[in-house]
Structure 1
Amino acid sequence: MSAADLARLQFAATTGIHWLFVILTMGLVPLVAIMHTRAAFTRDPAKKAVRERMTRFWGQLYVINYAVGIVTGLVMEFQFGLSWSGLSKFAGNVFGAPLALETLIAFFAESTFLGMWIFGWGRMRRGVHVTLIWLVALTAYASGYWILIANGFMQHPVGYEVRDGAAYLTDFGALLTNSSALVALGHIALAALTTGGVFVAGVSAWHFLKGTEETELFRGSLRLGLWVSMLASFFVVIVGEMQRPVIERTQPMKHAVLENSGVAELQARLVKEHGPGDYVPWQDTLRISMDVMTIIGNTVSTITIVALVLLWKDRLIRWRWASWLLVATVPFPFIASAGGWVVREVGRQPWLVYGELTVEDALSQVGTASLAVSCTVFIAVFVALAATNWTLITRFARRGPDATQLGATEPLPDDVPEGPGAGGADERQRVPAF
């Protein structure tokens, strides 16, 4: 393999694995926030206890995914300097700020709010505690926005001018409203909610299959997961189609390959515009990835609609085949998301910054042997982290609420604030040992 192939493989593998953490994080945190809000403002003591256990159970799974996933995110931006110094030299003046903001939000604001939420059980007023998990959700999506602003510039560069071989920002507003970023953000947000909803519904269905005694807890989780995934999966298809005009306008070759029409004519036109070269991305890879994403999206949407209908009179719980179908559906959104990522990134080739900088020109002057070693090490570490993450999630998901450690330690007498709005005795139950 060439140096360019190794650098592309390394970045593709590490980014793809990292994305599997991100999409579950973005999809699960709004559901945990909804659960916590309902628990905090429920007056009935019995229902409140169930909803608090629900929040802590799903919150722990979220925290595991976030904690392991953030380790994979630490190395992503270092690869720009390691393997793609040409990209940093050309576009660093433009997307350096969005990447810095994404880092500040993800590694400082989001993690700070999450830490306060984790260690705030029984120690904070319920309104403040609930606000924290919503801030975690908000910063998660804000982080996604800024990374897509950077990626959107690579897909469709706007608001810049080139001086002495480097791009300089001239219109910050154009960068922030780049259609290639905004429409993609809507699509990704809905895909994440679909992933989170299907995950919650699938795990809940598994516990019913195993004869859980926490019927009220998992019935509520199942209902919430199905409603969220049904609505999100329906609209994710619609928003996905909204990207086609944007792609046709900004990346006509990608559109031509997906439509299987006019590829040769566009190749000839691009040769005239940019000089000799192969401007056709991997056609089979692009079309297969698109088909996988589309088929899975429609399948998940259909399954969740049917499952919601079967909730009536508990048919979904009583009919074991239906519950097993939900369990089997859990990996589908992850696969579809990976397919969408391939379409977005591979379809841009051979450009790293579309129309301005090719992959070959962006590659660092690093030896093939060095890249082979770093590629092997990076992929091995990321695979190990992914295996660790899913082993932990599976273990704690199977154990159920009784094994939840989030908020499981008794508070000290002076930990819980007194007075109106403090939540009373119901909120003096637990602070975390997790």
Structure 2
Amino acid sequence: MSALEYARMQFGLTASLHFTFVMVTLGLVVLVAVMQTRFVVTGQDVYGRMARFWGRLYAINYAVGIATGLVMEFEIGLNWSGLSRLAGDVFGAPLALETLVAFVLESTLLGMWIFGWGWLGKRLHLALIWATAATALLSAFWVMVSNAFLQRPVGYAIDAGGTARLTGFGALLTNSALWFALVHAVAATIVAGGVLVAGVSAWRLRRSLTRPDHELFRRSLRLGIRVGLIGTFFTIGFGYAQFGWIGSSQPMKMAGGGERALERQAEMVQRFGPGNYLVSDNVGAALGFMVMVANLLFLILVVAQVLTYRDVLIRKRWARPVSWLLTALIPIPVLAALAGWFVREEGRQPWAVYGLLRTADAVSPMSAGALRLSTFLFSALVIALALADWWLLARAAARKPGGDPDAAFGQEDDGVRIDRQEVTV
């Protein structure tokens, strides 16, 4: 393999695993904020216990995800110096803002929320989790601003030294490659969070549980299904909404094969000069997989939502296969999103910055042997982090929820406080 192939494989693996953490983090934080809002508004302890239980999973995933994000930062600096030299002043600006938001502001707010249980007033504590959710979404926004520049470079000018300089920050924010993709991606994270909550809840409800725990996971199941269904609707809608822009701005991505692809190839040669602009057949396969999974997931969640009426999904034996299916579906939204990421990134090849910088010119001048070694080391690190994260999440998901939603951090008991309000819907 060449140095370029090792660099692409390394970053693709790291970015894919990091993206799985991001999806679960964004999806869960919104759900936890909704649960805690209900706790504060209704005063029902079950919602506070829900927020604490799912908030633990969110915090675990966030902490490990930060580590994989740091690995990505190192890889960009080490392996893609050509990209940094040409366009670092432009796409690096939103990435710097994302770093400040994710590594400083969001982590600070999350820490205050975690250690604020039992010490801060309920409304102030609620404001912290919503502020954490807002900074998480803002972090995703800045990442997508940077990525949209790679898809459609705007707001820059090439100086005498051949370096792209930022000329209009507003142009980055109004990039036509940004907004539909942003909503599509955020909605996909909501789906991932909702399906995770629904799947784990369905698993817990199939086990022998005490009545109060049963109520916690019953409500979590209903909320997860409802949120997942809404998120899937918007994911599909804003996914299809991007087809028009892609067809006009990146025609090779949707060209498929045959004569149409050859016609597009001739157009690209005329526009950018000699080269192979045909995309991999895997792009079309990934796009088809993503579309198929999204539509099937929507139908399954519709059926599950209907079966939540009078708790049919929980009480009736004939509905048990749907409960098992919800648990089996936990990784599916993430896999579909990874397929979508593959379409977006692989589909713009051979460009690192579309129409401006080829991927072959963006890679650092390193030997294949050096990149082989760094690929092995970085890949081993991120895979170890991913395995640790999944192990910790599984342990946390199997843990019995604490009984007092107002207990200070580290003082939650494993008993359950029964409240008359918990048995009401």
TM range (shorter): over 0.9
Deviation track 1:290-340 (CA, whole Å, cap 9, x = no partner) reads 111111111111111100100112111123212101111111101101100
Q: Which of these residues, 253, 271, 274, is aligned with residue 273 of structure 1?
A: 271
Equivalence for 1:325? 325
- Write the distance in 2 (CA, Å) between the matches of 1:30 and 1:170: 35
Q: TM-score, normalised by structure 1?
A: 0.91
- Write the distance in 2 (CA, Å) between the matches of 1:209 and 1:260: 51
Equivalence for 2:103? 107
- Give the conservation status (yes or no) of the 8 Å contact 2:119–2:408: no
- Give the conservation status (yes or no) of the 8 Å contact 1:289–1:340: yes
Equivalence for 1:339? 339
Equivalence for 1:210? 207
The alignment's C-alpha RMSD in Å is 1.8
Residue aligned with 1:352, SS:
strand
Shift of 1:212: 2.2
2:146 partner amino acid: A
Greater alpha carbon shift after TM alignment, 180-189 vs 394-403: 394-403
Q: Which of these residues, 262, 267, 284, is aligned with residue 260 of structure 2?
A: 262
Inter-CA distance 50–294: structure 2 relative to 1 (3 Å threshold): same
Inter-CA distance 407–73: structure 2 relative to 1 (3 Å threshold): farther
Shift of 1:408: 4.7
Shift of 1:78: 2.2
> What's the % identity of the aligned pairs?
50
Does 1:301 pair with 2:298? yes
- Write the distance in 1 (CA, Å) between the matches of 2:236 and 2:153: 26
1:327 partner amino acid: T
Residue aligned with 2:352, SS:
strand
Equivalence for 2:307? 310
Q: Which of these residues, 148, 151, 154, is aligned with residue 152 of structure 1?
A: 148
Greater alpha carbon shift after TM alignment, 394-403 vs 123-132: 394-403
Equivalence for 2:249? 250
- Write the distance in 2 (CA, Å) between the matches of 1:389 and 1:277: 42
- Give the conservation status (yes or no) of the 8 Å contact 1:396–1:404: no
- Write the distance in 2 (CA, Å) between the matches of 1:403 and 1:107: 32
Equivalence for 1:223? 222
- Write the distance in 1 (CA, Å) between the matches of 2:403 and 2:330: 22
Does 1:135 pair with 2:131? yes
Equivalence for 1:52? 48
- Write the distance in 1 (CA, Å) between the matches of 2:352 and 2:408: 46
- Give the conservation status (yes or no) of the 8 Å contact 1:191–1:232: yes
Shift of 1:232: 0.9
- Write the distance in 2 (CA, Å) between the matches of 1:96 and 1:403: 46
- Write the distance in 1 (CA, Å) between the matches of 2:411 and 2:9: 49
Q: Which runs of 5+ in 1 are unaligned?
A: 412-425, 427-434
Equivalence for 1:123? 119
Equivalence for 1:174? 171
Alignment of 1:30-41 (within 5 A): 30-41=30-41
Residue aligned with 2:348, SS:
coil
Residue aligned with 2:42, SS:
coil
Equivalence for 2:374? 374
1:225 partner amino acid: G
Inter-CA distance 407–193: structure 2 relative to 1 (3 Å threshold): farther
Equivalence for 1:238? 237
- Write the distance in 2 (CA, Å) between the matches of 1:199 and 1:276: 47
Equivalence for 1:356? 356
- Write the distance in 1 (CA, Å) between the matches of 2:383 and 2:408: 30
- Write the distance in 2 (CA, Å) between the matches of 1:360 and 1:410: 55
Deviation track 1:14-38 (CA, whole Å, cap 9, x = no partner) reads 0000000000001110000011111
Q: Which of these residues, 198, 212, 228, is aligned with residue 201 of structure 1?
A: 198
Shift of 1:260: 6.6
Inter-CA distance 403–353: structure 2 relative to 1 (3 Å threshold): farther
Inter-CA distance 250–208: structure 2 relative to 1 (3 Å threshold): same
1:197 partner amino acid: G
- Give the conservation status (yes or no) of the 8 Å contact 1:60–1:404: no
Q: Which runs of 5+ in 2 are unaligned?
A: 413-418, 420-425
- Write the distance in 2 (CA, Å) between the matches of 1:217 and 1:228: 16
- Write the distance in 2 (CA, Å) between the matches of 1:92 and 1:334: 29
1:250 partner amino acid: S
Shift of 1:77: 2.0
- Write the distance in 1 (CA, Å) between the matches of 2:404 and 2:381: 28
- Write the distance in 2 (CA, Å) between the matches of 1:230 and 1:393: 23
2:349 partner amino acid: Q
- Write the distance in 2 (CA, Å) between the matches of 1:138 and 1:114: 11
1:17 partner amino acid: L
Deviation track 1:185-204 (CA, whole Å, cap 9, x = no partner) reads 10001100000000000000
